[in-house]
Amino acid sequence: MQMIKTAVVGASGYTGMELLRLLLMHPNAQLCCVTSRQYAGESLASVFPRFAKADGSALTFIQPEAKLIKDSGAEIAFLALPHGVAAEYATALLELGIKVIDLSADFRLNDQQVYEEFYGTPHPAPELLQQAVYGMPELQGRSEAIREAQLVASPGCYPTSIILPLVPLLEAGLIDPQSIVTCSMSGVSGAGKSSNVLFSFCEANESVRAYSVPKHRHLSEIEQELGIAAGTPVTMSFTPHLVPTHNGICTTTSALLTGDASKISEVLEKAYADKPFVRLLGENNPADTKNVTRTNFIDIGWAVDQRTGRVLLYSAEDNLGKGAASQAVQSFNLMAGLEEQAGLHNL
C-alpha cells in the first residue's frame, strides 16, 4: 500500500488537531513530522490525550524548522499557521522539494493588492501567488490543477460554504451577481484554540451575535471565486455570526433570480451529483450542521421565494472539516495520486 510521508506544521490549534486526527487514521499517510513551538519535545499523546494509544501517537513535536521537516522525510506538508508566517514556511519547504498545502490565507488570492487591502500587510511571497492553486476540488478544472500543484491554498471555512452553492447558479446565469446577501453562523472552534475570555464557555454559551462587520477578511477569496464563476467582478454582503456549537457552519445565501427558477435543481445536480462530498438535499430542505460535523461533506438545500424573486441557498459543513482540515486532506489525496476519498470515509 502506498504510504505518503506527511508533515503537519503548526499542529497545536483546532485545525492542526483535526489534521492530526485525519492523518493518524489515513490508510495512505504516514505522519512523520509534527511541529509546534509551544509543544516541541512533547509527544502527540501528551498534548492531545484523545490520541493516546493510537498508532503514531508516540510521535514527538519538533521545532518548526524547514530543515528538520525535510530531514523527517516529509513529501507533503500541511501548514496550519497564521497568515504571514505560513508564506515563509511555504517558500522554504518548496525550495526543499516538499509539496505544500497551506491552510492559511496567504496563497488564496490571485491579486496581491486585494491581499494587502484585506490583510493590511504587504504580501510576504507574491512570486508564489500565480503558482498556488485554490484547493476546492469541486470547482471546474480544479481537481486536475490540484493533482499537478506544488502549492495548494486550501480554502477558508466561510468561503467553502458560500462558494459551492453559488458557483453553478452564477455560471448558468440564473442569478444577479450583485444581489448576493449571505449570513453564516459558525461554531466557536472557528475562533481557534483561544484564551480570549470572549470565547470562554460562560461568555459564548447562550450567546449569538454577528462579528467582523461589515467587511470580513474572507470576503476577498469569496468574491474572487464568485467573480470567476460569474465572469464579472462580484461584490456581496456577508455577515458572520458566532453561535454556541463546537463546530459546524450554517450558511444562508439569498440572491435575486434573473433566470428560470425551475432550472436550479437541474443546474446543481449537474454540477454535484457525481462529487463524493457534496450532498444535495433538494428544494425547501435546509441543511443542518449536525449531519456534517467531523466529515468532509457539505450539504446543500435551496428554496425559491416567489414573493421576492429570490433564491435561497442553505449549506452546512464542518468549519474544521470541509471548511479546513478534511478539505485539505482531499487536496492531499489528489496531489499524492490517491483516490480522492482516501481516509475521508468518516461518518
Active site residues: 157
Beta bridge partners of 3: none
Given candidates 95, 194, 260, 339, which one binds a copy of itself under the rule CB under 8 A?
194
Cβ(87)–Cβ(128) below 8 Å: yes
Place of cell 464557555: 201
C-alpha cell at 30: 504516514
Q: Rank residues 40 and 256 by Cβ distance to a copy of itself and give the closer one.
A: 256
Given candidates 289, 327, 330, 333, which one binds a copy of itself under the rule CB under 8 A?
289
| Per-residue binder mask for a copy of itself (CB under 8 A), 38-57, x = binder | -----------xxxxxxx--
Given candidates 15, 28, 189, 333, which one binds a copy of itself under the rule CB under 8 A?
189
* Whole-angstrom distance, CA of residue 264 vs CA of residue 282: 10
Contacts of a copy of itself in 81-100 (CB under 8 A): none
Task: Please report how close the Cβ of residue 346 comes to a copy of itself at its closest, in angstroms.
Answer: 7
24 binds a copy of itself (CB under 8 A): yes
C-alpha cell at 56: 503514531
Task: Please report how close the Cβ of residue 112 comes to a copy of itself at its closest, in angstroms.
Answer: 19
Report CA dihedral (73, 78, 81, 85) to the nearest 10 degrees: 60
- The identity of residue 61, as a single letter, is F
1 binds a copy of itself (CB under 8 A): no
Task: Please report how close the Cβ of residue 241 comes to a copy of itself at its closest, in angstroms.
Answer: 7
Q: Rank residues 37 and 193 by Cβ distance to a copy of itself and give the closer one.
A: 193
Q: Rank residues 149 and 250 by Cβ distance to a copy of itself and give the closer one.
A: 250
Q: Rank residues 131 and 213 by Cβ distance to a copy of itself and give the closer one.
A: 213
Which one of 97-105, 133-141, 211-219, 260-268 is the stretch in contact with a copy of itself (CB under 8 A)? 211-219
* Whole-angstrom distance, CA of residue 11 vs CA of residue 9: 6
* Whole-angstrom distance, CA of residue 43 vs CA of residue 159: 34
Q: Rank residues 252 and 333 by Cβ distance to a copy of itself and give the closer one.
A: 252
* Whole-angstrom distance, CA of residue 213 vs CA of residue 164: 23
C-alpha cell at 67: 530543515
170 binds a copy of itself (CB under 8 A): no
Q: Rank residues 40 and 181 by Cβ distance to a copy of itself and give the closer one.
A: 181
- The identity of residue 212, as a single letter, is S
Distances (CA, A) of 74 to 3, 214, 234: 11, 41, 39
* Whole-angstrom distance, CA of residue 74 vs CA of residue 92: 13
197 binds a copy of itself (CB under 8 A): yes
211 binds a copy of itself (CB under 8 A): yes
Contacts of a copy of itself in 243-272 (CB under 8 A): 243-248, 250, 252, 254
* Whole-angstrom distance, CA of residue 65 vs CA of residue 42: 16
